[in-house]
């Protein structure tokens, strides 16, 4: 396959997953174990769905989940959140609408961080990592 001549437009959702990918790539050779886990534990038919405790100390994510609708009006659930874990500790949640939720802080728009970094994914992900690990 030939390389595309133009990349698709970056959306908040695609940016959320690009940031997750870059964060995991940065941590590849670290001693600490980094993971991205969906906030909804889906066990299929074996047992009922369980809730992971990632929302416990992240008020902005709790608020977003209680609203039940994203800014664009889309219905949201725990499936729309990805916990960024380091050594099994949730540092923050990345919502698929392009929002970073952190303990004790206001939510951060990933698109705003991306635009401030001249739409370059590497410094964007480094900024998100700095926010996750102050």
List pLDDT tens digits, range 103-121.
999 999 999 999 999 999 9
Interatomic CA distance for residues 114 and 39, integer angstroms:
24
Note the pTM of the prediction, 2 decimals.
Answer: 0.87
Residues of 43-81 as b/e, b for ≥16 C-beta within 10 angstroms?
Answer: eeeeeeeeebebbeebbbbeebbeeeebeeeeebebebb
What is the tens place of the pLDDT at every residue in 40-71?
876 655 544 456 789 999 999 999 998 886 66
């Amino acid at each position: 396959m030939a390389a595309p001549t133009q990349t698709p437009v970056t959306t908040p959702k695609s940016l959320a997953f690009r940031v997750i990918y870059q964060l995991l790539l940065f941590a590849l050779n670290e001693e600490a174990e980094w993971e991205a886990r969906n906030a909804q534990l889906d066990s299929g038919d074996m047992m009922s769905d369980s809730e992971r405790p990632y929302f416990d100390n992240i008020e902005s994510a709790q608020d977003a989940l209680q609203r039940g609708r994203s800014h664009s009006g889309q219905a949201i659930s725990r499936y729309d959140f990805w916990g960024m874990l380091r050594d099994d500790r949730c540092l923050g949640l990345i919502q698929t609408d392009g929002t970073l939720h952190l303990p004790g802080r206001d939510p951060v728009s990933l698109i705003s961080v991306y635009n401030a970094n001249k739409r370059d994914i590497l410094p964007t992900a480094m900024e998100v990592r700095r926010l996750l690990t102050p």
